[in-house]
Structure 1
Amino acid sequence: MSDDEARGADTARLPTLEKAPGGGDGLEQSGSAADYAPTGEDDHSGKRPWSVRRVPAALVALVLLGALGLLLYDVAAVRAGRPAMAWRIWLAHQLATRHLDSPWVLAAAAVAVVLGGWLLVLALTPGLRELLPMRRTAPGVRACLDRSAAALVLRDRAMEVAGVQSVRMTVGRRKARARAFAHFRELDEVRGDLDRALGDGLAQLGLAHGLHLTVEVRRPKKG
């Protein structure tokens, strides 16, 4: 994203300045909330890649393979003139004698519904929630940015602001939040500079979808 695009990003800042009462912890606090959105339309093609989900797929495959293999062996044994296995005789008896309102039947049905719903969620959602899709600048190229890496980049930008002593930066799928401590300068001035620095940082990340930015600035506690 160019510098002109970054400067043209839409932002809305709502600054506040609060002082804690004398009975509190004695912290001054300045906070603001800003909506950042890339200029132009969102890149709807910038979607998260789908997770292959090897572990759930392997577990389901192993369970089905074991159950079907055991059932096939038992059916072949019965066809060969041998008695059925005890578990199949017990299961057939239970299915023939237990009523549908039995607690065991209801519990088994509830477990099957939960497992089925879990598998449907895995099948219909992309997963990889730690990745943020980036704007596509070339056909056939798809890029994503790890949320922890994005938080580290934004934290470095925030630490460059004069007066900032420390910053805790968190980046989610929809929001980015900065909680900073300032040891000199007015808190609202530090907050304004942080808004601008982090807004420019978000623009330069090249994300496909905008993030809601929240900035909080406080004074560190005096020992």
Structure 2
Amino acid sequence: MTTPNKTQDITFWFDAACPFCWMTSRWIKEVEKVRDIKVNWVPMSLGVLNEGRDHLSDDYKAEMKMAWGPARIFAAVATKEPEKVDALYTAMGSRIHNGDDRPRADKVAEAIPAALEEVGLDASYAEVAKGDSWDKELRAFHQTAMDEVGDEVGTPVIKFGEHAFFGPVITRLPKGEEAGEIFDAAARIAQFPYFFEIKRSRTEGPQL
């Protein structure tokens, strides 16, 4: 499939602490190199999504608690300096997910100030992670994803044109034209208004 003449608008909702979301985001960054797309990066929150789900394992609950901090920072940055969200996600995610298929508290804590400094954001954003002052905005960003796909999903949520879906979930990173071809397929499926779901059990975690 040849690259369309018209730029394709993509909305990508992400939680910076999720390794599966990180892998998909890196695929979209590869797609940017070979397809004419414009990506709007919007924070969402697995912490918000999983509120009240007491059946989750203790380990997963701990990860959800840890994920609130970065998500709150992205809510603040997306509100005040949205042009920096893309670069901040790359800077922070590269540190959080470097070699780990699950987020670790020490890496998250170290990633926040280093990533803010790398992209030229004020260090005071790091304080946002410690309180709930931006939770209203975070919940509002999160709700925009839920309005598109419902709440029986995870992260990422991607909107291709008029329709949004959870995923795609990938464990290994396609590059170059292969990344573009997978994007073409996903975008084409999204054009059909009556397509809802395709899924199989995962046999491996993200190969970061």
TM interval, shorter chain, is: under 0.3
- Counting helix residues as a fraction of each chain, which structure ranks higher? 2
Q: TM-score, normalised by structure 1?
A: 0.21
Larger-gyration structure (1/2): 1
TM-score normalized by structure 2? 0.22
